Structure 1
Amino acid sequence: MPLLKPNVGRALSAIGALIVVLALFMTWYHIVRPDGSTDDTTGWQTFTNLRFVILAGAIVTIGTALVRQTRPVLIVRTILGIVLAVLILRRIIWPADVSGDVSTEIGVYVAFIGAVLVALGGLVDTGRQVVQVYPGLWRPAAGELGRGKRVLDPGDDSRR
């Protein structure tokens, strides 16, 4: 199986970052207040500090997808995705603290998927770099070696 193309990880991370930003403006919570009124709030409306952390993480991720793909860049991109995913997952598990019944909505899940894509993009490129630097670590799967051909041992003199 051939390796993924060199731009796949970058693209996954950049698309994930854009999804995270767009998800900030989707509905994250549906709130039923004690007086019976209801509210739908976006991630941007709900969190005064978290929104800027998520936005900054997405911007930095897009920046890391545009520059030369060195080991530190790949590590930063992967860590950013993990941090964003944990911050958003925290808000899925423990929604905003407001008066009334709070239920999570599609926006928070879309943001989480975007953050996972950011991390996955970093991991894809990191894995590619490991394969390029340490090619001996990867061995062909059983049956792939010499598919349809006889594999010769260099020390085998039976064909001479």
Structure 2
Amino acid sequence: MSQTYTDLTETMFPDSMDQWDRYLDPTIQTISLITQYQNFYNQGKFEEANGVIEHNPILKRIIVNASTMNKTLDAIMALQRFYFSDFQTYLQNIIQLKGEYASTVKYPKYSVVTYIVHDNTEAFLCLSGNCPIGTPPTNTNFWTPWTARGEKGDSGTGLT
């Protein structure tokens, strides 16, 4: 269950990744079990139908029921909540503005530094949790640019 969204009992997001099995198509070996499940279900014998699934766990990867859909729904709802309300806060909490780049500093993942490139001050985001000391922000194995320039590289109107 999500610790962040306690009402969403079928997902772990955003606290951790959900571990779901991939679904399978029916096979010759599972058709008789599926038919047995459907017969119980059609007769209104829901406990017996659920028992077929419980005694044959492979059916949980074949038969789509309310439990399957609720798991998917909770995961989607957690994603929506996270991106609509929590994502900006999440970014603010992980991104660390470090100022001007210094070659003697060990920068943690998500550090943002400024660095002079062709006489222009540009911003870079550290993408590695293991960026070696002295690695310049122009090294794209560890950093990504956060500053965009137009074709000519000129600042926009009113910007310096």
State the TM-score, normalizing by the size of structure 1: 0.29
Q: Please identify which structure carries the higher helix content.
A: 1
Q: Which has the higher contact order (CA 8 A, sep 6+)?
A: 1
Q: Please identify which structure carries the higher strand content.
A: 2
